[in-house]
Every structure is written in C-alpha cells, then in structure tokens.
Amino acid sequence: MNSEVTQYPIVIEQQVVWGDMDAFQHVNNSVYFRYFEDARMAYFERAQVMQWMKEHSKGPILGSTQCRFRAPLTYPDRITIGARIESMGQDRFVMKYRVWSEKLDCLAAEGEGVIVYFDYEVGAKCTIPDSIRAMIVDVEQSVGHSIDQE
C-alpha cells in the first residue's frame, strides 16, 4: 500500500463486490462514485456535519464530481479509499478522493467533488457555519494537512 494514504484523514477499507462488475469484467465506472460517497460520508460523520445538519437544516450538497480511472478493479479485491479537503471557500469546499487496490498494489482511481453548503429550509446555498469550518480544519490537521482558504 502506498504511504500516501497517511496524508488522508479519512481512510476506509472495503471489499470489491462481485455485483459491482459489469459485462467488461471490471468494476463499473459508476461504482467509483459510490466509493467516493462512502468516504465522504465517513468524513462528514467525523466532522459532525450530519449531526449539525439534523439540528439546523443546513448541510452539504454535491455540486459536481469527477473521476480519473487509473487501473481496472476486479473481484476479488480489497480497496482503501482516502478522502481529504483541499480548499474551502465561503460556501463550498473541494474534497479529493483516492482509491487504492490491494490486489494490484496501486492507485486505481482519483477524483474530486465540489461540495456546496445548502440551506435545506429555503432551498439555497449558504455560508459554511464557523463550527463546521473549525471541525474540518481539525480533521485535516490530524494528519498535518492544511486547507487552502479561498
């Protein structure tokens, strides 16, 4: 496993599932976005984003996402997924993802998502709350990573 994984404050491991493979005998491209989502949700739980959202009806919404496929995953395999936040503006942040394959011993995919803070009561974007901003900074500092502030 690449030592780069230590640069990610959120790291989860999971098995590649047989049903995620497609007719071309590798994991379907859409599944990688679920891997990203799994890591994103683990990040949000650690930073208490979901709890804050439950109490205040303000939280994240995915604005855009992308993936660069590096190596085809196949069943069976165990993958490691890392997530971190690269930059944060007033109402959004950019989260980076990496997926490593144990079987192939390499980076299988990398991606990013732009997450916008959203007021679900009024249906419009809003400023990231200071308490959430502070939690995100703490999560990133746990691995010595600092966020670019826009």
Among 90, 122, 97, CA closest to 11: 97
Residues 6+ apart with CB under 8 A from 18: 75, 76
Residue 130 has pLDDT above 70, yes or no: yes
Q: Per residue in 87-118, pLDDT tens?
A: 999 999 999 999 999 999 999 999 999 999 99
pTM of the model: 0.95
CA 21 to CA 116: how far, in whole Å?
31
The pLDDT score that the predictor gives to residue 116 is: 98
Looking at residue 41, its pLDDT comes to 98
Average pLDDT, the chain: 96
pLDDT over 70 for what percent of the chain? 99
Residue 150 has pLDDT above 80, yes or no: no
State the pLDDT at residue 1: 53
Instruction: Give the pLDDT confidence score for residue 111 in this predicted structure.
Output: 98
The residue to which tokens 């502070």 are assigned: 134
Q: Give the list of residues 6+ apart from residue 45 with CB closer than 8 angstroms, or none.
A: none
Which amino acid does the sequence have at 1?
Answer: M
pLDDT reported for residue 142? 96
Give mean pLDDT, residues 119-147. Answer: 96
**First-to-last CA distance in the chain?**
33
For the stretch 54-89, pLDDT in tens is 999 999 999 999 999 999 999 999 999 999 999 999
Is residue 52 pLDDT above 90, yes or no?
A: yes
